[in-house]
Structure 1
């Protein structure tokens, strides 16, 4: 029983960690205009596969927060909705990137000498 609880706690920790870095990954990739599927492919190619049911609500939330702009391109078949950073999104990306680097440096210091177990 305790082993199952410990495993569930580890898995929950991994989910929370991934959720925290997903916004930064999406903002990073949307410095260039992309549509949802291309963004999903780029995330997967970078080692962060994501389900459509996670990505599209995240894009809508970031757009509602003013971090993204979107526009439909009907010149392609099928029409595609393209996303890119807004000015506020660019500022948020810069802030989050700086915070990420600082946190990564701190965590690297804590993990120094750790053999990965």
Structure 2
């Protein structure tokens, strides 16, 4: 049986890169941070707010996300959306993910 701490560490490492791709795909439709946090969780990508917000800022700085402030509501919110550069990266990462999935299935004797 696996040690819980060991399992947690390796699952975290495995999921770390997938959150970037998940954000790029989900944010093809503009959304704000808290709603994205909830949506990611409901779609199986549990991520902590202390991880997500720095990630969003980094992706914005890299030009992969565009952001605009919505001040029409009582509480201003920063809405993020995937930029053209981000869409191109998401396409490449999705293809690579698919190839990796195929390779893992081959290793497990699935094909």
Task: Give the TM-score taking structure 1 as reference length.
Answer: 0.85
Note if 1:75 corresponds to 2:72: yes
Note if 1:64 corresponds to 2:61: yes
Cα deviation code 1:69-105 (max 9, x no counterpart): 0000000121110000111001001111111111111
* 1:42 alignment counterpart: 39
Note if 1:91 corresponds to 2:81: no
Shift in Å, 1:7: 5.2
Q: Secondary structure at the match of 1:19?
A: helix
Residue from 7, 10, 16 that aligns with 2:13: 16
My pick for the range that moved more, 23-32 or 104-113, is 104-113
Task: Give ranges in structure 1 of 5+ residues lacking alignment.
Answer: none
Count of residue pairs the alignment pairs up: 110
Backbone CA RMSD of aligned residues: 1.8
Shift in Å, 1:11: 2.8
Q: Distance in 2 between matches of 1:50 and 1:8?
A: 17
Q: Distance in 1 between matches of 2:66 and 2:7?
A: 36
Task: Give ranges in structure 2 of 5+ residues lacking alignment.
Answer: none
Cα deviation code 1:9-55 (max 9, x no counterpart): 43322111010211111111011101001111110111112111110
Task: Give the TM-score taking structure 2 as reference length.
Answer: 0.89
Q: Secondary structure at the match of 2:73?
A: coil
Q: Distance in 2 between matches of 1:11 and 1:53?
A: 17
